[in-house]
Homo-oligomer: A and B are copies of this chain.
Amino acid sequence: VITVVALNPALDVTHHVNAVDWAGVNRPVRVHTSAGGKGLNVARTLHSLDENVMLLGLAGGDTGAAVQAGLDAAGVPAVLTPIGAPTRRTFAVVDATRHTVAIFNEPGPPITGAEYDKFRASYEEALHASSAVVLSGSLPPGLPASTYADLIRAAADAGVPSLLDTSGEPLRLGVAAGPAVVKPNLAELAAVTGARVIDPPVEVADDSDLTPILKAAGELRAGSPTTVVVSMGPAGLLVDAGQDRWLAVPEPVTGNPTGAGDAAMAGLARGLVLHQSWPDILREATALGAATTAAPAAGEFTRYDYLQALRDVRVLALERV
């Protein structure tokens, strides 16, 4: 079982309007509600791939009940520890061009020590049956920045590899705890290392385009056995696995990139538990990201897009810089 931790899930509400009046009353023509947050996207993608997955998280209030109902409807097994404060919402406004025009991300619910302790107990129990642990997303208020580091160490103590996708101080402390994989995007990598990482061209012409990114990834690893996977959007995934460095590039795809990084994370976790080679892992993770971008709804993909993307990914071994 791949255990996915979602400490700060969300009820995602999308309002579709024909034309937005930012100074008046709008009547959305369509409202879409779904259980969201990075961990849930990862879990849903793994479930779509017929992987055994278990979502562990925190949920409260009527919004938390709606998140639980969404997971039930998707058939994703989940144990959500009840909390007193309501689970956060996100509101997205989408206009007739089908582009998201504005997003409102509510702050997460404050978590008490007793609530976290209950979650922690369910996590310890889940570790016995886990082949890998995925830790994705922001931490809700009340949890210390060391929370992911603590969960990574507990997994390591149980012999379970972990994959981390977060930002800022929780990322910095998390890497130091020795996860198998960390997956920052370019902005997160730049923020955590203080490096000035420039977006690479969509078509990488020369390995030297990647030099500043590889340098920052190396700083993040700091000589540890952790593999750093940098998600670069349309430019693909860049891997620094210590001895080996790889670049996986998808065919260009237009669509909605929301959740593409989470789909890639699902691919990394799956490849890790199947003991695949890095080129194979990267091919699958990149294809899942591309197929998710091609689908209109965030975090979904069709098997057709996935298989086509899988065929078209190019994986390149990079020289040591």
A residues apposed to B, CB below 8 Å: 13, 15, 17, 20-29, 31, 33, 61-63, 65-66, 69, 86, 89, 91, 93, 101-107
Which residues of B have CB within 8 Å of A23? 101-102
**Which secondary structure dominates where chain A touches chain B?**
mixed
Given A29-B107, A62-B63, A91-B104, 12 other A-B residues pairs in contact with their CB atoms under 8 A: A15-B106, A22-B102, A23-B101, A26-B104, A26-B105, A27-B104, A28-B105, A28-B106, A31-B106, A61-B66, A62-B62, A93-B104
Q: Is the CB of B27 within 8 A of A107?
A: yes
Q: How many copies does the complex hold?
A: 2
Shortest beta-carbon distance from A315 to chain B in Å: 32
Q: Is the CB of B28 within 8 A of A107?
A: yes
Q: Is the CB of A28 within 8 A of B65?
A: no
A144, B225: Cα distance in complex, Å: 67
Which residues of B have CB within 8 Å of A61? 66
A102, B23: Cα distance in complex, Å: 5
Which residues of B have CB within 8 Å of A65? 62, 65
Q: Is the CB of A28 within 8 A of B104?
A: yes
A101, B65: Cα distance in complex, Å: 30
Q: Is the CB of A24 within 8 A of B104?
A: no
Known A62-B66, A66-B62, A91-B15; contact A26-B107, beta-carbon cutoff 8 A: no
Which residues of B have CB within 8 Å of A29? 107
Closest B residue to A92 by beta carbon equals B25
Q: List 24 A-B contacts (CB under 8 A).
A: A13-B89, A15-B104, A20-B22, A20-B102, A21-B102, A22-B101, A23-B101, A24-B102, A26-B102, A26-B105, A27-B104, A27-B105, A28-B105, A28-B106, A28-B107, A29-B107, A31-B89, A31-B106, A33-B86, A62-B62, A62-B63, A62-B69, A91-B91, A93-B104
